[in-house]
Amino acid sequence: MDTPAVPLPQDAREQAILDSLVVVRDKLLLLKQDRTTYIRSQDILPLYDETITRVKELNEIRTETGSKEENRLDKVLESCFQLLSLFYLTIGRNNEIPANYALTSTIKRLLDHLTEADLYSAKDLGSIKATLANLSLSISQAKSRDNKAENYPYLLELLSKRVEKCQATLENLQKRLGRIGEPLLATHEKLISIIRCISLANTKAKFSSNEVQKFRKQLLDIGEKRKDGQFVAEDGSVPPGSVETGELYQRCLKWSEIVLERQGVMPEPFRPTYNTLVGIRNELEKLSLTQAWALRETDLYDFQRQLDKIDESRQNGNFYDDRGRPADLYTQRTMLYLTRRSYAYIYSFILASEPVSEALLPIYNQLQTLKRCLVEVRDSGGVSSVRELYPYSMKLNSLDNLRVDGKFVVNGDIPEGQGSVSELLAECFDLSYDLRVAAEEATAASVDGN
């Protein structure tokens, strides 16, 4: 396991805790790599309890010594919590506090990048604001419960501080966005969209000058709406944010020029890192198309580790080659775009994770598909006869017959997410029943009419 180059603990007791946590982390990594069986709660909960026990010991030692210096133990502990968090999502325990650790890590990365780039719109902040509000509520509720199984003070305190820091960063970003007056918000958002489209075109396997030229034309069309070089409201007045929007416009134009000039060619010293980032982005993009069927949440750990390592290798915001030379503007912006895009994918995957164990996901996904089909049939006018519903009814009954005493059992276990799957099954039965009743009534009316 690749651990960042940080010193080993000086205290022998901390070294003993480090050794224990390395064992926990390695067990988690082995579980993550094993695709021959489903991850079960009983595989994960003892490892979580072991981690928390070691954290308590560490806190006692550091309270005694007063040490605040970070060492390798802190890095391994972070890896353990990151893995455990993703495992909690994999086993369907999404609503428990440990599951939130990975999400807060990703949100912090996204907010730091938005702050650094100063390229974002209200839409970017909306989702993060709602997610942080939900996290804050979950933490408050967990603190108010006396449930020792999940209410560990250390983790709650850690997540509380993380969420508070993220909310403070978000407020600063919202204030910065507040510089843009209402009449210019749509223009500002369009410019953000265009510069991202140019960056996407710039990182495709085959560079297309025509595609970038198309976006550049959209920019020039926006620029033509200015009066005396300023962005104005419909009544001709100059609203707040005109200067900032103008600066963004010039930034977009300059970027389109650089991209057209460089034609997607990356300098050789930075090509290995660039290729790694493109590979990560492409893999995550593929997963976004097949997420419900192909993604195990723990898969995200390897992507996060690679991205974190690349992101943390920067100095003063820039990338450096093996000889210590900084990247030029084109290289820096291109690689930062890929890094941010990949973190955004990870964020969306974690948010979309269903509170259902991976053992039940095949059944859950089939029911999701079945529900979409039944809703589509209903919305397009229903069926003309009950016979048309036979395929749906047969599939529903086959899934229902998998239950034993009302529970879905997999390899002798009762996985997490029973409520979600049963609720979805009931919704499908209700939709099918309503369609059947409507078809029978239509048939009866037709007979009566004759």
Summarised one tens digit per residue, pLDDT across range 21-32 is: 999 999 999 999
- Count how many domains the chain has: 3
Please indicate, yes or no, if residue 283 is contained in any of the structural domains: no
> Of 239, 265, 291, which residue constitutes the final position of a domain?
265
CB 352 within 8 A of CB 291: yes
**Mean pLDDT value across residues 124-133:** 95
Please indicate, yes or no, if residue 374 is contained in any of the structural domains: yes
pLDDT band of 149, cuts 50, 70, 90:
very low
- Among 137-146, 226-235, 276-285, 330-339, which stretch is predicted with the lowest mean pLDDT? 137-146
> Of 93, 124, 157, which residue constitutes the final position of a domain?
93
Report the pLDDT value the prediction gives residue 5, as an integer from 0 to 100: 64
Q: What angle do CA 163, 28, 91 make, to 5 degrees?
A: 65
Report the pLDDT value the prediction gives residue 1, as an integer from 0 to 100: 41
Report the pLDDT value the prediction gives residue 3, as an integer from 0 to 100: 45
> Of 38, 65, 93, which residue constitutes the final position of a domain?
93
Please indicate, yes or no, if residue 442 is contained in any of the structural domains: yes
Report the pLDDT value the prediction gives residue 187, as an integer from 0 to 100: 94
CB 448 within 8 A of CB 395: no
d(CA 125, CA 171) in angstroms, rounded, equals 10
Structure tokens of 435? 């369609």
Please indicate, yes or no, if residue 337 is contained in any of the structural domains: no
Report the pLDDT value the prediction gives residue 184, as an integer from 0 to 100: 93
Please indicate, yes or no, if residue 2 is contained in any of the structural domains: yes
- How confident is the model over 204-261, as pLDDT tens digits? 999 999 999 999 999 999 999 899 889 988 888 899 999 999 999 999 999 999 999 9
Report the pLDDT value the prediction gives residue 449, as an integer from 0 to 100: 59
pLDDT at residue 40 above 80?
Answer: yes
* SS3 state of residue 407: strand
Report the pLDDT value the prediction gives residue 447, as an integer from 0 to 100: 65
- Where residue 377 falls (left for φ over 0; alpha for ψ -120 to 50; beta otherwise) is alpha
Mention every residue, 6+ apart, whose C-beta is less than 8 A from residue 190.
218, 222
- Among 144-148, 225-229, 284-288, 314-318, which stretch is predicted with the lowest mean pLDDT? 144-148
Report the pLDDT value the prediction gives residue 66, as an integer from 0 to 100: 86
Mean of the per-residue pLDDT values for the chain? 91
pLDDT band of 36, cuts 50, 70, 90:
confident
**Mean pLDDT value across residues 183-194:** 94
**Domain ranges, residue 410:** 361-449
Please indicate, yes or no, if residue 327 is contained in any of the structural domains: no
**pTM summary value:** 0.90
pLDDT at residue 448 above 90?
Answer: no
Report the pLDDT value the prediction gives residue 292, as an integer from 0 to 100: 61
- Among 1-5, 205-209, 287-291, 362-366, which stretch is predicted with the lowest mean pLDDT? 1-5
Please indicate, yes or no, if residue 123 is contained in any of the structural domains: no
DSSP characters over 116-173: HHT---HHHHHHHHHHHHHHHHHHHHHHHS--TTT--HHHHHHHHHHHHHHHHHHHHH
Q: Crossing angle for the helix pair 72-90 and 101-117, nearest 10 degrees?
A: 110
CB 51 within 8 A of CB 84: yes
CB 97 within 8 A of CB 142: yes
Please indicate, yes or no, if residue 198 is contained in any of the structural domains: yes
Q: What angle do CA 159, 164, 168 make, to 5 degrees?
A: 150
Give the helix ranges, DSSP H, for 208-294.
209-223, 242-262, 271-294
